[in-house]
Amino acid sequence: MCGVVGLIGEEKAGEKLFPALFALQHRGQDAAGILSFDFDRAEFHLEKDLGLVSQVFPIERLSRLKGTMALGHTRYSTIGTVEKEDLQPLVLSYPNGIGMAHNGNVTNYSEIVEYVRGRRSRWTFTRNDLEILLHMMSIGISDRLDAGDSLSADVFAKAAQDVIEKVKGAYSIVGMMADQGMFAFCDDQGIRPLLIGRKLNPSGKYSYCFASEKQVFFGLGYDYWRDLQAGEFVYIDRDLNFSTFQKSKKVSRPCMFEWIYFAGAETEWHQRPVYEVRLRLGEILAAEALKKMKQENFEVDLVAPVPDTARAAALRLAEVLEKPYREVLIKNRYVQRSFIVNEPEVRKAMVNLKLLPVESEIRGKKILLVDDSIVRGTTSARIIQLLRESGAEKVYLASTCPPIRYPCFYGIDFPDGESLVAFQKTEEAVAKHLGVDALIYLPLNKLREAIGVDSLCMACLDGDYPVPVEKKNFLETRSRNIGGGGKNEVNG
Ligand code: SF4
């Protein structure tokens, strides 16, 4: 999962994406990049590097990003590596300068790379699946130019439709055509979010902004306009004329995990505000907790969240149960990437310092802990042990996500079923494995109601994959990856 953003019709667009990338930092912490285009000098400017947004962009780097059109990226590696050549945005020079950044995963990578390299004689230099998306876009444009067309919105739209038909997976893309304009498109089931914002200029035309999350618009002074639709291609030319194309309309299948865990609490998607959904998840979970407490005859003294995502749900759950809401774990926001430290003792200390117990609130208490989800179970087990060591009398765990039993091949970092704690396990077995006194999951059949969207991707919960995946092919592709490091590193 990554964060993407694009801006057209704005002076110093590249520099303005710097604060926008802060608003998307939680979506990817491996690397960051900005590509700008200066229409006056007909020049691309690209700055990208490993690290957090604040580390990648000292002021002198930002000032090099000239132009009124720019796109940016915060990277969370699931395909490709954390090597520099794999960082986004990527640029191609033929048949016209094209730059792109994306959020998502291609699931038929081997087939497409074979087509690009074997049948179209184009070399690839990275292990990032964006590169083959970029080549496919470029091939679609080249073929039409060879057939006598000239560069136009129509040509770009047809090229993007070819990409959507041939390249399988979940992806949301923002791109720029040198000297021409900005475009955005996504896969035909709209699995990954991309929102459109706009701002009316004194000239009477709109400037446009694309972003993975809505808070970017607030920061840049744009109004949220609407979501990009599944399979839609939109284009804004250099004179700020907007056009949209959608070849076939499929039912969208947005990723449920955006609401549960990944998205910032302040955004919305499909008209469903993330914070409101998380409150509703807490409400449903409260009903389940009450049932469990009655069945197993236990009481709790307080409700506490695992910071940060579970806060809204824990708050609502506490209100319904009429129990105190307390913070029993404090997250140290300054401890960042522990794997870059080589010394094992220092690394262990950094992991320990990431989440610290508030002993005065824990000692002698029966705690109902609320987490957004339980993925591999390693973090949950560590937290439960931490609470016990800090004197908790009982620890109960409630998860706003139903059991995750199947891998995700669409951009969240759990592509291997065996590593999931709930894989082929009953809820009782998971509870035992984690060492909790009781475990409460949000029921699978209540999730659509809680999110308020009828059609969702819930493949990691029910195994119903909206885009078929050949697992062997995917895992071979995946073995190219040594990355990781999005929001909380999805290791809970
Ligand atoms: S499999 Fe799960 S995490 Fe992956 S896209 Fe679907 S709902 Fe989201």
Residue range 7-56, pLDDT digits in tens:
999 999 999 999 999 999 999 989 999 999 999 999 999 999 999 999 99
Give 441's pLDDT tier (boundaries 50, 70, 90).
Answer: very high
What confidence tier does 416 reach under pLDDT thresholds 50, 70, 90? confident
pLDDT of residue 241: 98
| 276-453 carries CATH number 3.40.50.970 | no
**So what's the pLDDT on residue 36?**
98
pLDDT band at 340 (very low <50, low <70, confident <90, very high): low
- Number of CB atoms found within 10 A of residue 25's CB: 16
Q: Is the CB of 457 under 6 A from ligand 1?
A: yes
Looking at residue 476, its pLDDT comes to 55
Does 453 contact ligand 1 (Cβ within 6 A)?
no
Q: What is the pLDDT of residues 468-479, one digit of tens each?
A: 886 655 555 555
What is the domain partition of the chain in residue ranges?
3-253, 276-453
CATH superfamily, region 3-253: Aminohydrolase, N-terminal nucleophile (Ntn) domain (3.60.20.10)
As a whole number, the mean pLDDT across the chain is 92
Instruction: Please tell me the predicted confidence (pLDDT) of residue 491.
Output: 32
The whole-angstrom separation of Cα 10 and Cα 419 is 46
Ligand 1 within 6 A of CB of 256: yes
For 450-466, write each residue's pLDDT tens digit.
Answer: 999 999 999 999 999 99
Average pLDDT rounded to a whole number, residues 337-361: 77
Rounded distance between C-alpha atoms, residue 186 and residue 228, angstroms: 8
Distance CA 251, CA 231 (A): 10
Render pLDDT for 120-172 as a digit per residue (tens, 0 to 9).
999 999 989 999 999 999 999 999 999 999 999 999 999 999 999 999 999 99
Which pLDDT value is given to residue 473?
57
Write down the residue that tokens 């929001």 correspond to.
487
pLDDT for res 337: 56
Check residue 4 and give its pLDDT. 98
Backbone angles phi, psi at 156, to 5 degrees: -65, -40
Interior/surface letters 205-240, b for 16+ CB within 10 angstroms, e for the rest = bbbbbbbbbbbbbeebebebeebbbbbbbbbbbbeb
pLDDT (mean) for 399-415: 91
- State residue 477's pLDDT score: 55
Q: How far is the CA of 460 from the centre of ligand 1 (A)?
A: 5
Indicate if 2 belongs to the active site: yes
How far away, in angstroms, is 450 Cα from ligand 1 center? Answer: 16
Decide: 228 in ligand 1 pocket, CB within 6 A: no
pTM of the model: 0.93
Q: CATH topology of 3-253 equal to that of 276-453? A: no
Region 416-444: mean pLDDT is: 95
